[in-house]
């Protein structure tokens, strides 16, 4: 970095690329019904121009772009793998089997509640919302839609359950990250999150129970369900043994096998099921990994559920992640994001405002940085000393980071989590957002608790000294 030319970017200039991106997004999506790619590129151009004008050379700006891309490379690899796992599991009859038995067992009235709880338990056990949505979530979409439940509603239930587990699991990377960066004990952090997350889950379950009352067994046309069941049996070998495939993947992740090897094992088992259980040829099983599965069963609902998957199907999502990363990388590397957050912090005057602004800043960082991890990392850096100065226990900070960062990422169409969900569950962000009830209930509860002072914990004198040492150590790192 050429420090002789580098200058600090003011809040007024730093906010311009964000406003340009948001305006471009509104026009492109709302007026022209286009995709978010071009507005993000436009915002990147504006950000690069401003950085250049204040003294950054192109090499610095370019490095910011590449740094942003490097940050999302793990997500891109996971996305590619999920594309393959969806294609191989459809071709192997695994999704068809899960859908078949789900339609046989689950009641439409309680399906939304059931799928929320199932996803919550699985995600809690394995610590990964993405793995849960890419396996149980995909099957849940097929079952729910076959019951006549709108896809956005099903997606909202899947997301609510998956993110409850992700947020509360000691195996979750975001949970570990929030606790570690704030200096909070991991299990103190998890127990402190119960105050906001359990009420959020109960609100979500109550809402899904109320919504589910309109989908009684009588309201679902028996002929439609029987038609789906018959079509699945005619086109796939349905066997309970195929349910072992998702079980094995979930057990592997639960036993701390990294997500990528576990998902690749799922892909391999899906290909083997396609060849040896469904009787497909090897060439078709392999090409399905790239181009997805294709079926013309004559049943429109079944075809719409199963004509998907493969790397090609996920490339739109990957390209969106890349352009989002470029935009976020420029803002982060040139100090624009820090300038915006510093301005927000300067307006904080009380403990109530501190916790509320942490939640808001984490959500704001999700919008600007397009990455869930940065929504925890950046605010933790900016707010750690403010919490220490007010003698607030670090678990207040770690909870606020997760309440505002971890679960709100699903509401940003260009965030890595938003694009993953849209690509995996085949429902757009704006469609499922109103039904991701836990994800918007928790931040609201967190802010309300901050303003009434409920569950806001102060440090004891001994804890004050220990926390000061933790912050100094993190600053040194």
What's the predicted TM-score (pTM) here? 0.77
> What is the number of helices (H) and of strands (E) in the chain?
24, 0
Length of the chain equals 477
Pair 314, 79: CB distance under 8 Å: yes
Distance CA 328, CA 77 (A): 19
Q: Which of 465, 384, 410, 408 is nearest to 180 (CA)?
A: 384
Q: pLDDT 10s digit of each residue in the chain, 477 long?
A: 444 445 788 989 999 998 898 888 878 877 787 778 888 899 999 999 999 999 899 999 999 999 888 877 887 888 798 889 889 999 999 988 988 888 888 888 889 999 999 999 888 877 778 888 988 888 889 889 888 899 999 999 999 999 998 898 876 778 888 888 788 888 888 899 999 999 999 999 999 999 998 887 655 555 567 888 889 999 999 999 999 998 898 888 778 788 789 889 999 999 999 999 999 999 999 999 999 999 888 887 788 778 888 999 888 878 887 888 898 889 888 988 888 877 877 777 677 788 888 998 889 888 877 778 778 877 887 788 788 888 888 899 999 999 999 899 999 888 888 988 998 898 999 999 999 999 999 999 999 999 998 888 887 767 666 655 554 544 544
Query: pLDDT tens-digit profile of 195-253?
Result: 999 999 999 999 999 999 888 765 555 556 788 888 999 999 999 999 999 889 888 87
Distance CA 442, CA 160 (A): 11
Q: Is 419 exposed, middle or buried (0-12, 13-18, 19+ CB in 10 A)?
A: buried
392 bridge partner residues:
458
């Amino acid at each position: 970095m050429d420090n002789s030319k580098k200058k600090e970017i003011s809040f007024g200039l730093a906010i311009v690329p964000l406003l340009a991106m948001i305006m471009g997004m509104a026009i492109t999506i709302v007026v022209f019904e286009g995709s978010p790619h071009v507005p993000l590129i436009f915002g990147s151009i504006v950000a690069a121009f401003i950085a250049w004008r204040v003294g950054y050379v192109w090499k610095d700006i370019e490095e910011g772009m590449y740094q942003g891309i490097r940050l999302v490379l793990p997500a891109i690899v996971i996305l590619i793998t999920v594309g393959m796992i969806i294609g191989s599991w459809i071709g192997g009859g695994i999704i068809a089997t899960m859908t078949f038995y789900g339609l046989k067992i689950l009641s439409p009235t309680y399906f939304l509640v059931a799928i929320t709880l199932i996803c919550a338990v699985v995600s809690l056990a394995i610590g990964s919302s993405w793995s849960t949505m890419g396996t149980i979530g995909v099957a849940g979409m097929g079952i729910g839609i076959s019951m006549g439940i709108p896809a956005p509603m099903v997606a909202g239930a899947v997301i609510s359950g998956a993110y409850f587990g992700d947020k509360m699991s000691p195996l979750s990377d975001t949970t570990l990250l929030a606790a570690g960066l704030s200096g909070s004990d991991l299990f103190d952090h998890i127990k402190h999150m119960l105050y906001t997350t359990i009420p959020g889950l109960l609100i979500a379950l109550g809402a899904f129970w109320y919504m589910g009352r309109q989908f009684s067994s009588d309201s679902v046309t028996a002929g439609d369900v029987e038609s789906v069941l018959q079509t699945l049996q005619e086109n796939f070998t349905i066997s309970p043994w195929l349910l072992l495939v998702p079980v094995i993947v979930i057990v592997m992740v639960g036993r701390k096998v990294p997500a990528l090897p576990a998902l690749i094992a799922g892909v391999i088992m899906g290909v083997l099921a396609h060849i040896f259980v469904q009787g497909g040829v090897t060439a078709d099983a392999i090409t399905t990994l790239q181009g997805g599965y294709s079926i013309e069963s004559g049943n429109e609902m079944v075809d719409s559920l199963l004509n998907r998957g493969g790397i090609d199907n996920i490339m739109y999502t990957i390209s969106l992640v890349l352009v989002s990363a470029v935009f976020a990388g420029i803002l982060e590397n040139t100090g624009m994001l820090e300038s915006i957050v510093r301005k927000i912090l300067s307006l904080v005057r009380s403990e109530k405002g501190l916790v509320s602004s942490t939640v808001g800043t984490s959500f704001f960082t999700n919008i600007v940085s397009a990455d869930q991890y940065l929504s925890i990392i950046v605010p933790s850096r900016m707010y750690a000393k403010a919490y220490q100065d007010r003698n607030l226990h670090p678990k207040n900070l770690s909870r606020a980071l997760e309440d505002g960062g971890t679960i709100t990422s699903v509401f940003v169409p260009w965030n890595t989590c938003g694009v993953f969900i849209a690509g995996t569950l085949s429902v757009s962000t704006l469609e499922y957002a109103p039904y991701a009830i836990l994800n918007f209930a928790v931040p609201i509860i967190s802010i309300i608790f901050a303003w009434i002072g409920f569950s806001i914990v102060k440090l004891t004198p001994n804890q004050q000294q220990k926390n000061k040492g933790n912050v100094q150590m993190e600053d040194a790192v």
